[in-house]
Amino acid sequence: MFSYLKNNVELIKYYEDYYKNSFNINKIKNDIIKIKINIELLDLYRFRIFLDACALLYNKDKIEKEYFANLFNDDIKNYLNNIKLQFPQAIDIIEKVFKTKIEDNLYFEFNKEENKIINMSLWESKKILRNALAHMDYGSFISYGGEIYFFIISHKDEKGKNIEGIIVEPLFHALVHTYYLNSVQKSIAYKHTCIEINNKCTFKEIRYKGKEKYSGINRCHPMNHKAIYSKNLLIKYNFLKSHENDFEIKSAPIDSNTINLYENILYKYLNRKYTLEEFGYFIKSIYDIESTFSNFLTHLIQLNDTLIDYTKIVKSNKLDLLDIILPYIEELKEDFESELDFKLLFKLLYIINFSFYLEENNIENYELYKIHKYKNFFIFNPVQMVEFINKKILDNTIKIGTEVYGDIFYIITKIRNSVAHGRIRFEINNSKIYFVFQDTFYKRVEEVKIAVDDIDEFIKDINSFIS
């Protein structure tokens, strides 16, 4: 069996293949019908945890602090109590094994001194879970028949105390699915963005400034109202006008020179004619990678969950149920509008997985010289890099004899920190698309970037470490 991180690499490659020439929805439907997909259930569940970790890390601060600080109402205290009823077998096994009661929580901490399980609140659980995921302090996936019911986290709190406990996997998945996808269909949208193309091209962003809070039990909320994301501009305009006190709308015109630049870039990277929808989606991803990446993760989670259902159906030999899951694949047909964006975001998944590798294996012990393509990175502020390297040499983090690799140490550190806080974006420069990784600390901002033209060689290097 592949390791957790190696399994992530293999499944990223597997799903990436379906998106090579837009999303080949007919191929995957045919593969399902003809039972051509053969992935172990446990591997699909492990990949689900990876995708959920990506979504939580990328969106948690954006939802809870930046865009939607008043997200949760008091109904959240009953959320897990309601959702756990969907997983009676998993809940029953966990409660019997650990002699505890799962109520309004998804994390249970081991108290070794008193030899008992401590029930943590949902608020405490989320904080501990986020830190454990960011630092790769989790593993030991416990499965029954291939389904993961819980996994172990081992983490140090802010005071340096070692803490250990279990995360109930189906509740973790449900929590991410309901709160952290930036999706009107699945969770809550913390913002809406779109490209309006009439006589001129305009980027628009809609944020909520009203007082109504969101309940995961009931997803009705002004930010989820279908009128906001309607393609009918009149319907959208009338709704926003009638609720003008609830929304803040920002508009940014895009001049003709920029439009021409984007047209040339899109044609260059697709090497074919493109539709107006594809063009609009591409521009939107440049201005708003947050929504684009969230949408990408949402669709990949749905695809992976569908293959989990498929695998269960095949294992139980209830093949007549395959027709039930095909509509979930059909829902992904809009992905053809985002071919280029999705291709690039698969590259980002490899880099996120590598950042988890760095956390698991201690970045200070990393064999830096094995990264050959780091010179393709651009450093936003070389002075900041020199200061960082000198500091790491003085505290002996960068060992004597390895100083020559200080620049790659700086680069991968910035990438790791950027991933942990979801600060990643696209940038256009000299007719090229760049990935920009931003590391912020108080008012200090540091960035490294790499052109997508150079990313494949870098990914080949970093994937070679993961076994």
pLDDT tens per residue across span 224-235: 998 988 888 889
- What token pair was written down for 129? 């879970």
- The larger pLDDT score, comparing residue 443 to residue 458, is at 458
Confidence of residue 446 (pLDDT cuts 50, 70, 90): very high
Asked if residue 309 belongs to a domain, the reply is no
| Reported confidence tier of residue 64, pLDDT bands at 50, 70, 90 | confident
pLDDT for 286 equals: 94
pLDDT score at 459: 92
| Ramachandran angles phi, psi of 199, nearest 5° | -70, -25
Alpha-carbon dihedral sign for residues 405, 407, 413, 415:
negative
Region 305-312: mean pLDDT is 97
Helix (H) or strand (E) holding 429: strand 424-429
- Residue 135 pLDDT greater than 60, yes or no: yes
More confident residue, 260 or 115: 260
8-state DSSP, 284? H
- The pLDDT score that the predictor gives to residue 176 is 92
Q: In which residue are the tokens 């959240």 written? A: 76
| DSSP per-residue codes, 33-79 | HTT-----HHHHHHHHHHHHHHHHHHHHHIIIIII-TT-B-GGGGGH
Q: Sort residue 439 into left (φ over 0), alpha (ψ -120 to 50) or beta.
A: beta
Residue 370 lies in a domain: yes
Q: Give domain status of residue 255, yes or no.
A: no
**Domain assignment of residue 266, yes or no:** no
Helix axes 455-463, 339-361, angle to 10 degrees: 40
Q: Please say if the pLDDT value at position 22 is more than 80.
A: no
Beta strand 147-156 with 162-168: parallel, antiparallel or unpaired? antiparallel
Q: Is 359 left (phi over 0), alpha (psi -120 to 50) or beta?
A: alpha
- C-alpha 148/C-alpha 467 separation (Å) is 22
Rounded to whole angstroms, the Cα distance separating 428 from 263 reads 12
pTM of the model: 0.93
CB distance 76 to 63 below 8 Å? no
The number of angstroms, rounded, from the C-alpha of 388 to the middle of its chain's C-alpha atoms is 28
pLDDT of residue 364: 60
pLDDT at 136: 92
- Find where tokens 């997803």 sit: 219
Residue 10 lies in a domain: no
Q: CA–CA separation, 378 vs 372, rounded Å?
A: 15
Spell out the alpha helix ranges (H) of 148-288: 169-179, 233-242, 256-270, 276-287
With respect to residue 48, please indicate whether it lies within any of the assigned structural domains: no
Instruction: Return the pLDDT at 289.
Output: 93
pLDDT of residue 72: 66
* Residue ranges making up the domain that contains 430: 362-463
User: Looking at the domain assignment, is residue 197 inside a domain?
Assistant: no
- First vs last Cα of the chain: how many Å apart? 11
Q: Which H helix or E strand runs over 252?
A: strand 247-254
CA distances from 20 to 23, 30, 220, 255, 304 (A): 7, 17, 36, 31, 17
> How far out from the chain centre does Cα 291 lie?
11
- Give DSSP secondary structure letters for 115-184: TEEEEPPHHHHHHHHHHHHHTT-EEEEEEETTEEEEEEEEEE-TT--EEEEEEEHHHHHHHHHHHSS--T
Q: What is the rounded CA–CA span in Å between residue 92 and residue 271?
A: 54
Q: Examine residue 372 and state whether it is found in any structural domain, yes or no.
A: yes
CB-CB contact of 407 with 47 (8 Å): no
Is the separation of the CB atoms in 452 and 435 below 8 Å? Answer: yes
- Residue range 179-192, pLDDT digits in tens: 899 988 888 899 99
Q: What is the mean pLDDT of the segment spanning 87-92?
A: 86
* Per-residue pLDDT at 368: 59
Identify whether the C-beta of residue 295 lies closer than 8 Å to the C-beta of residue 281: no
Q: In sequence order, what are the beta bridge partners of 208?
A: 247
Q: What per-residue confidence (pLDDT) applies to 230?
A: 85
Q: Taking phi first (over 0 means left), then psi (-120 to 50 degrees means alpha), and beta for anything else, what does residue 240 get?
A: alpha
Q: How would you classify residue 37: left for phi > 0, otherwise alpha for psi between -120 and 50, otherwise beta?
A: beta
DSSP code at position 440: E
Number of domains in the chain: 1
